[in-house]
Structure 1
Amino acid sequence: MRKITLLISLLMIATISFGQTKQADMARMAKHVKKGFSTQVVDIPVQAIQYRSIEAVEDTFYYCGHDVVGGVGYDAAGTFSVFLKINAADLTPYVGKAILGVQAGCADASNTASMTAHILNDSLTYNGDNPLVEGTLVDAVVDGWNDLPITMPILSAQDLWVGYEIVALGGFPAGTDGATGNIEGADLLYGGGWATLAGIPLDGNWSIKVLLGTPDGCLAPFGLSASNITTSSVDLDWQSSGATSFNIEYGPEGFTQGTGTMVNSITNPYALTGLVAGSYDFYVQADCNPATSDWAGPSTFVIPTCSAPSCFFYFDMVDTYGDGWNGASLDVYEDGVLSGTMTGPVADAAYDSVGVCGTGVLELVWNAGSWDSEITFSVETPYGTVAYTTGASTAADLLTDGQTFYVGESSCTAPTCPAPTALNAANITDSSADLGWTPGDSEGTWNLEWGPEGFTPGSGTMLTGITDNPYSLTGLAELTTYDFYIQADCGGGDASIWVGPYTFNTISLCGAVTLPWTEDFESAGNLADLCFSTIDNDGDGNDWMNSAEAGSFATHSGTNCATSSSWEGSALTPDNYLITPQLDLTSETGTTMLKWYVAAQDQTWPEEYYEVRVSTTGMATTDFADVVYSEIVEAGGPEGNDYWFRTVNLSDYNGEMIYIAFVHTNCTNNYYLNIDDINVEEDTSIDGAVAGVVAPNNDSGCQLSASESVTVTIFNNGGIDLANFDVSYSVNGGALVTETVAGPITAASSFDYTFTTPADLSALGYYDIQVTLAITGDINAANDVFDYEVSSTDAFITVEVTSDNAGGQSWALINAA
């Protein structure tokens, strides 16, 4: 019922909706769908605008056509920025004057913590924290128009983006005018990326007004910057209007104003000397004598340890969704001084470097973004060793905001003690694992650190002076993910750099199971008690579960099934692994078959995509390299409660220990994917099925001929090859046409058979074609018959209907002739 309720509420906002994009339109799904933005219509009474005491306001510049009628937001807590672009030509009449304030429309004040005016002159480098000018934070927000204090002299005609950063508690607070069409530059920045209202798509413009006029006071400087940085000095400069004398205050990054070093009555630019390596903030105040302006700042600069890098560390950065790191970044510090920041790729991948002096300690600090589950990266030393990697599937969301996740030497010279390589884990049980590696040289002693996945090196469990490779690590917890790092000890105080992490998963206490193995999800209320493991690889907190944990679900049999969601109050992008216990196929020599039943919980939105993958090594996502089956689920499965019966031949894995993963992935905004009645066994059954009719059809025209080929798809659900059996068809209950299929059709495979005798379908009308199999020993007669309808007509009338997706409509085509 929750899903129906949401769709009804979306219908109510359809006049300025982002659109009811569903699975059928996945090719058109854009970044905003993933990020979860939405809109609503609001009824905002006109508010009296609370002007600041600026008597010099002469004009109000805006693009919005009328008052606030709509709102945009996450419908959840979040911070984002919205802007209108003012073209240089429109600013030309105001050169020599100033921006004296911004008025912003709010559509949901109760869900707004604050609004702060921002002005940009370069939208490409803006990340939410670095506007050209930042106004005063306003936390007493009202519905309708709000006065956001900000000032900036207009010294030249240039493109400006004027807007505000809004901290939302929920709802849809950013006000829009609901007008038809969009002006250029109706933009918003959220999750580290830009979007336009037109591209979302949403008609209308932001409710933003810019107050312009002649300033009647001493305006604060803006555009603070630092240049010509050396190991002990920097040139500070800024922009201002009219003032020739300034005061600055500087100190360590983050210092409290009033506690820094003050320098008065200086000119612009100003050479600041006598500095030591480190990060600094500075503020600037205009001295208009006798008045002084507000302080502008802080602006941050870094004094390096050395005048030029001696070597470089290299960063291979990936975003699996392909839309950049969404606000995440990685700071590189050498001896406590910021050497550089990696902001990730613009799209899917980037390779970059940071220079270091090579004299001390290298620290890497993570700054979380909004979609860290999409991020992977590796760090390579100047001498070619991988110092750190998240791994191909162990995403950066395991790191926490502000975490120092790596500490090591920044040396430019390769250690005389080479680091080990090829870290691995084998013989994994519920409580132990054999950790191995390839020695870097001839060393025979190592140091090993291990801990929970994502732990910060230095905070784990340290084992020094170990001599066994592989090393048997015990005392582990079942169904738990661990990391380990390794360091070579070459003796005499000579040691390699630390390398890692390598990630592994312990298995269930259940241990390996032999065949036949069946699971109907009825004997326990959660998956762990049934010896299944799950991985929420997209990190959204929505994982596979036993349906008994969530309520009433459609099942193939009994009352329980396994289920995973692509919609739970809002669209999800699942990458969820349902992993079977370890299956022992070491004694299997026959036809080993995997069988299961699958259905979409919501038959209106059934297009859940999933894959069946096999691992012969472990249970990490990267271990499941073999995709043995995949499909987009369709509605109307014939096996009861809309389930489909599926089979895969696993005989290629006979003689091995395997895990099977059902991976719900690459889909969004449907509902739940249900899996039930899984079975793995050596199959000696005979079970052929008519899976469909390929021809005749109307693909090439409306009217059919007197000699139409009849082609049917036959699927082997059993474990015995099918050969030399009869297949028949009849048209409208007429005479049977029976022929023999020579085969063989191997287990879990299909074959398209074309009858040598065609069908006469030339008369206009509808034809019911029934296909029947006759296979000796077939265990399931229900799937041996298939009914199919095709038409032979002289024309089709195509009616295109657009629906708001709310359901409940009906359509009729009436012949009025």
Structure 2
Amino acid sequence: MAAFQANCNTLCPNPKDLIYIAGKNDAYFSFDPNGNTGTFIYEWGPQGFVQATGSMVSSMDSTTNSSFTLTGLSSNTCYDIILIADCGGNGTSDTLGPIPFCTNSCDSTDLCSYTMSMYDTYGDGWNGATVDLYYNGVYGETFGSAFTTGDSLIVDIDICAGTEIAVVNGAQGSYPSEVYYTLSNASGSQNVSVSAGNFSVGAVDTIMSNCVTPSCPTPSSLGVANMGSTFADISWTGGTGSFVYHYTALGSTNTKMGTSISALASMTGLQPVTTYNFDVAEVCAAGDTSLRMNYQFTTDSCSAINVGNPNYNVDSISTTFADITFTWAGASGYTSYFINFGDGTNGSGTGSSQTHTYSANGQYTAVLKLYGDCDTTSQQIFVSIQGIGLEEHSDLSALVVYPNPTQGLISINGSLDQAAPVAVRIVNYLGQVISTDTFDAQAGGFEKTYDLSAAASGTYVIEIETPKGLLQKTVVVRH
């Protein structure tokens, strides 16, 4: 609506109160003739054109009614229009205008009504906080700048159906903890909300404007079917058609889209430990989709596994078996393990050790596998078992290996009932012999010292053998 200019021709008064309703490619105008019954001439063109000068391309037409319609306009474009009354012998009126008007991105029948409801807990407006809306990736409008007092401000807007609406918190203002809002459509089936105390700058959510009653149901029961650090499979309950989905990392405006002919979306190239906003709609028919269902998921972590230095301890050896404890206490970054003992049996769990009983002497290659969120690693452990089936020592007693753990030097102290030859072997966890010794021990006590300072840190097996059998002890070397 606009006021007319000062009238210099009293015999031909100005038309007044020109108003319009814009569509996508047309605009309907009506006005008050102000007592005139002649012809009304109107001219329109790009904003800023000068009347009847040809400075810009313009168009002209006339009507004898108090309304008219312009067609063939460009969508989402702004124009200027002027209106003059031709009173015949009484001359012409002054010019009404120029009056600006803008076409829409869609026809008025495709406009969806939304409400931005803004609130402040203290009651003094938003103090500089703002919310921005982006339409199909392009900045659209800002809310909150005019909210300078009171505890609420409600603004109604129209958005073309099928428009992707990205809601982004723009400025946090002086008191962001007081700010909260809800953007909702007329039916309440779509809304984006930020609660009090949770307002922070950045992307909030993305929805698709939809005010046409869909012909197929909205997908439901969304959930994670499979998840990793860089991929996610989201499933849902839906129809039997095809689906379109979107996903955006929280805090980002880079939205990606995909399609599926089943009720499953498979997304790759994701970032570890990142929260994503996801939505999906069923394609009912050409140009017709269901309402979107929103979902949020967070990808797994992706920490590398450190296997450390796995080893084993010989707990005991009898005439029929040997008890072994495997340990990997220095490992990190894993959530579970699987171990093949090398004798046809396996073990699994979530801890850092596993016991096992071997029933025969020999060299075994155990394989330890550690599993993480996005990594798997394995390590071989070579096990040497000797002494099963030998008789219990009747002549070797009070056998002690010390210090244990050691930084290098170890002493073996024992006692024999009678003189006998003694063989000593020191074996690492790979089954490699790193030291051997033989000596003749007299009845009574004996002691021998060995230097392991050049050996790598780890667990070693000390084998002491006499004519009546073999005993094993373990020692840990730490540097």
Calculate the TM-score normalised by the size of structure 2.
0.37
The structure richer in helix per residue is 1
Larger radius of gyration, structure 1 or 2? 2
The structure richer in strand per residue is 2
